[in-house]
Structure 1
Amino acid sequence: MRRWDALNERQLAVLNRIGTSTDSVTAKNSDLANTVYALRNRGLVKTPRRDGVWRAEITEAGRFYLENGYHPDHPDRAVEMVDGSLPRATRGVTVDHGTSPQVLVKDLMERLKRDGGTLRLNNPDEQTRASYRRLIHAAKRRGLVPAGFHLRHTGRDRGDMVILLTNDSQPETNWNRVRLGTRKETSDPRMMVSLLEEERNRIRVSPGLMPRVKALLEGLSIQAERRGYKLIMSLKRTPVTFYLQKHEQRWTLTVSEVMEDVPQEPTAEERRRRSNGWSRPTEYGSVPTGRLRMELQQSGFAERTQWVDNGRTQVESKVREVIKELEHRVNAAEQARLKRERELQEMRAAEERKEAERLTMWETAMTAARECALEDRRRDTLGNALQDWFAAAELHEFCEALEKAAANMDSPEEAANLRQWVVWGQSMARQLDPTISPGGLASIRFDAEPEADDLRPYLGDWSPHGPYQEYRYQRLEPPAAAQARREPWRLGRPVRGQWWRR
């Protein structure tokens, strides 16, 4: 069952009776209870309790239904009802009659973005709540909310109304905090006073001071609103807790009566317990003094935290000082924040300079190590190829000598065996010769990039993978070729190439 679905005949008859008839509907009409609950779930009636018995009362939405024949939240009628239904004094979106819903939603979105994504209406009336609900519903139904954003609201029927524009990147806990916090708090001074009068135990003051507490809350709320702050009262705590809030910052405010410790005579029961030796009677008792006290939460930037009645002035005249103290704290906190940001930026700039210097040193070391590693590899490769070439030449010469020896042998069997050795030796000579071997010098890239292990002996403590140092169990020394590079390269036939040992 949807909220805006049409009422059946019984529900419509009961709604007519509640709204127009003098015959009231209460908990004593048990046969109508289920119907009343169904109407209440749709927001058409409310059931406040008096002396433990609820009494059905029609709401603005219920009167609207009786006059127009449909629910004010009906989606098919929402767009038609948005224009002109927002009271100019409370809507916060300036429009003219005849403005399209797209323009209304665009104005609402611009205000939400300007206010940091949050629009708060302090205890609006029923008509304003319904108008904003229809506007939000029209925005969602027509797809006018920007892609990736969600339009949410709380306080649809009581308390402050908060409209929140969130995106997918924001955690769900932000919305839960706003939603639950709005239901547990109020910023309406009239509601604060009404709750305090109904439940005197919520605030620790004498009954005679309640008129002054009322004047104090009203004056503090007016001064706070003028300077961009808001007075909030918690609905869930006893004793009551007040807050002064601006944007996301809030400070706890306590209003109480000054108590004075005075000597008191022990009672007969206390004397009896004292005679038993296991109890000590209370020598002092706290009595009210009739003086009010305001205490503001401690802060590292606080100049003053307490205001108390004295012989000449009362705390009601100090509300401006409280707001000035908050402004001082906000300004001091902002200056401290800017100072921390400057220090953080300086630290980051210094760290970036160090990183740049470290990167430059690493790149210089890498360039030098790459040159050394390439030079050593080329020397080793060319030197090994030269030795293979000498070995191949000697092997060819040796095979020719064996061929001559086989030609001069008397035994055909020995000559044939020797020629087999000659054939195998000539094939080995061709494999060793870098000028004709498939895997010779031509297959080795001249500009092949050295690997990390080739670079490490020339990098000291630097890592070949990045501008940071590596821990090495044993320091790597450059290969012998690096030492030989300091001396001229001696060309010519080296000692006999022991190719068979490779």
Structure 2
Amino acid sequence: MKKTLNERQLAVLEWVGKGCPEGTAPTYKASCQALQNRGLVKVSRRGGVWTAVLTDAGSHYLAHGTYPAPKAPTRALPIPRLPKVTAPSSSPGVPQQPRKTYTDQLLEELEASSGRILKSGPDADAWWNRAASASRSGRIPKTKELHWQRLREGVEIKLVDIPEWRLAVLEPVAVPARLTRPHAVVQAMQKAKQPLGLTQPVQQRALRIVHALVTTVERNGHTCAAGTVGAGPRHNRRLPHDPHFTIKAQGQTIEFRVVQEKDRSEHIATDKELEEAKKSSWVRIPRYDYTPSERLRIELSGGQWHHGSQWVDSSECLLEEQLAEIVHEIGLRGEAAERKRLAEVEEARQRRLRWEAAMAEARDQYAEDYRVRQLESQESAWRRATRLGDYLDAARAHVTTLPPGPERMAAEEWMQWATEHVARTHPMFQQLRFPEIPEPRADDLKPFLRGWSPYGAY
């Protein structure tokens, strides 16, 4: 059984189906041979001209996402003649409905199942490729996007809403041609011996970009401060870097660094390097040389990122054209920090309420436990007093048998004290009422708090 095409092979097949437009030919030509081995593409080179066209199987795969069904093998047996059956013709004037594609089927299933479907079984891999094709088809609503992933049960496909911040229309940031009244942060950079650690050709452009950025964010209500304005990049990227300047957006501090990109070229070893490497085995000749370029990169750190954490000059988009997205990123990080702060405040409030409820319940349970202990103490005192009373009855009967004299007088005095003592300690001779509950200490409440601390909401 032929394997399902991966995403790159499917992209190459679509490229051939569009007539092999220019732009990606050097990378796609190498992949066409694999498609030709599968019978989906026919490649030829005549007269020095390279061409590639779809086969019938390739057209079928683009339309349906699967290989065409294999034809049944023919047998060398006489085929009986069957009566001719005429197929019913369609009614004249009634247009035929176009065939439903897999993209249409996928979108209909997602709409019927609240934006999530799970494909399992032998066709799961095919639906993975169909989801990728549907995502590139341009038929997904502009406010939604298609997500798909492999799960243990199969391939999950979801149609989700695009976050509002990704649909926002950004206002361009104007970069001045000259710095007539630079921002205080830029003035601190200008006083450095080598501003931002950059080379001379790109310093002025970098300062104008920083000026446009900080003045724009200050108009949005944020604050800016200069950092280590004369430091260049460290050799070890794993070590923390000091920021060139910081911006505080709604309590979130965001650190910025302006870095100069470098061009890499093959290193040509000098005679001295070759001689040293020949003498010492530990000497290593570098493979590449790195030279500063005129491209700049802005790096951000701190807070929850949305668009990204770095923006780089490129041939398609200069850094000046990306400042609007950086300003938007600063605002988004500030809003995320404020939401987090409010959530933490609410969580602390809810935790305090739960702690107060736990403390109130612990006090009630402590009071109930104290009453039970008092009741048990009274019951124990009653049993003791009852036993003593029985004993005193027997002792009094014995005293009456004693002859008059000092011994009987001493016994009667003892009986009188013992009787008074039993009367004082007997609970039935005392007033029965609710006991006064003493103020509990922290250790008294711990057994009833179920993990909470008696000293605070933690």
Q: TM-score, normalised by structure 1?
A: 0.43
Larger radius of gyration: 1
Q: Which has the higher contact order (CA 8 A, sep 6+)?
A: 2
Higher helix residue share: 1
